A and B are shown apart, each in its own frame.
Chain A
Amino acid sequence: MNVIGEVLEELWSMFVGDRRLTLLLLLVVAIGAALAVLLPRLHILAAALILVGAVAILADSVFQAARKARR
């Protein structure tokens, strides 16, 4: 049971290890979904938002880790 627990814990941390990154990504996808529903003709906006959002989240996560390392 301990092994299964450890494996599940590691799998969980694999996806939700960085809580801020997870929450920001879910927020971006939610806004993208709203855009896709509200402006179906401009669906490229939703796709672009997800791309720009993902890159911005990556940058935020890297800079945050860099700031922590500096302290």
Chain B
Amino acid sequence: MTTGMIAWTTAAPAVGAAFVASTVEVVEAFTIILAVATLRGWRPALTGAVAALGALAVIVAALGPALNLVPLRVLQIAIGILLLLFGLGWLRKAVLRGAGLMALHDEDAIFERERTRIGDEVKSARAADGIAALASFKAVLLEGLEVVFIVLAVGAGRGLMIPASIGALAAFLVVMAAGLLIHKPLARVPENTLKFLVGVMLSAFGVFWTSEGLGAPWPGGDFALFGLVAVFAVAALALVAMVRPRAEAMAA
């Protein structure tokens, strides 16, 4: 019973973190695929996307088994540091956006910008579909690598690869279903709120894994993750409140 509880308390944040973080990445990739598709049709858009998914599969197949060769504590420290770098970076941007010091992520604007960029390139190139497919390939490869990293980061430290993968897969299915239904950039996804949540969760996981890897585990074991999430959430909200007056003074 206790073992089950501990497994659940560890698996739930892993699934949640992978789902929310992957949602953000899949929305970003979908925006660019849609921009390519409206400009050159679905064929080059999907060709690029499928090629990128194939490349991602090869990368995961090649690197996945290699992770088993790395001692667990070294893996925890390395992943913990990378998670902290990634998580604190996202949290910093989310705080600055929340305070009004940085422009919010705008999927409609990105959609238009990508359409213009690809359109400009196509005018001066013969292989228009090739350029469109390449844009789709790059977007899916980059965002996909971020999803792979997130799944590895929240899952590899303690054998949670399957829950983390389920979270990422669920995000992929939800975003694709929503995208195909409304057939427009998913501009109403509260991306900054999601990035705030992801930044908080990844930073909490980063502190947790780094400490475990250094041989300094948190009291309460896996339950400590909830406390770490609370600390980062409170700290980030306090920072938003502290910085917002500066942004308002600048705007006035």
| Interface residues of A, dominant DSSP | helix
Task: Give Cα distance in the complex from A70 to B100, angstroms.
Answer: 12
| Interface residues of B, dominant DSSP | helix
Within B23-58, which residues are at the interface with A (CB < 8 Å)?
Answer: none
A6–B89 CB distance below 8 A: no
Contact partner, A66, options B96, B146, B218, Cβ 8 Å:
B96
Question: Contacts A21-B92, A46-B211, A51-B231 hold; do A59 and B239 have CB atoms under 8 A apart?
Answer: yes
Q: Is B171 an interface residue (CB 8 A)?
A: no
Contact partner, B250, options A11, A47, A62, A70, Cβ 8 Å:
A70
Report B78-98 CB contacts with A as 1/0, cut-off 8 Å: 000110111011011001100
Task: Give Cα distance in the complex from A15 to B82, angstroms.
Answer: 7
A62–B243 CB distance below 8 A: yes
Report A55-71 CB contacts with B as 1/0, cut-off 8 Å: 10111011101100110
A54–B88 CB distance below 8 A: yes
Q: Give the contact-size bracket for chain B.
A: 35 or more
Q: Give the contact-size bracket for chain A.
A: 35 or more
* Minimal Cβ-Cβ distance residue in A for B91: A58
Contact partner, B141, options A7, A15, A55, Cβ 8 Å:
A7
Task: Give Cα distance in the complex from A69 to B251, angstroms.
Answer: 11
Q: Choose among B101, B203, B210, B247 the residue with the greatest number of A CB atoms under 10 Å from its CB.
A: B210
Contact partner, B138, options A3, A26, A45, A62, Cβ 8 Å:
A3
B86 cross-chain contacts in A, Cβ below 8 A: 14-15
Report B203-226 CB contacts with A as 1/0, cut-off 8 Å: 100110011001111110000000
A61–B92 CB distance below 8 A: yes
Question: Contacts A32-B211, A66-B243 hold; do A10 and B84 have CB atoms under 8 A apart?
Answer: no
B214–A14 CB distance below 8 A: no
B142–A7 CB distance below 8 A: yes
How close is A62's CB to chain B, nearest CB, in angstroms? 5
Question: Contacts A21-B92, A69-B101 hold; do A50 and B239 have CB atoms under 8 A apart?
Answer: no
B145–A7 CB distance below 8 A: yes
Binding site for B on A (CB under 8 A): 3, 6-7, 10-11, 14-18, 21-22, 25-26, 29, 32-33, 35-36, 40, 43-47, 50-51, 54-55, 57-59, 61-63, 65-66, 69-70
Q: In the A-B complex, list the 4 residue pairs whose CB atoms are closest, starting with the nearest.
A: A43-B216, A46-B216, A47-B211, A47-B216
Other A-B contacts than A21-B89, A69-B247, 17 sampled, CB-CB below 8 A, are A3-B141, A15-B82, A21-B92, A25-B88, A32-B210, A36-B214, A36-B216, A47-B211, A55-B235, A58-B91, A58-B203, A58-B232, A62-B95, A62-B239, A66-B96, A66-B246, A69-B96
Binding site for A on B (CB under 8 A): 77, 81-82, 84-86, 88-89, 91-92, 95-96, 99, 101-102, 134, 137-138, 141-142, 145-146, 203, 206-207, 210-211, 214-219, 228, 231-232, 235-236, 239, 243, 246-247, 250
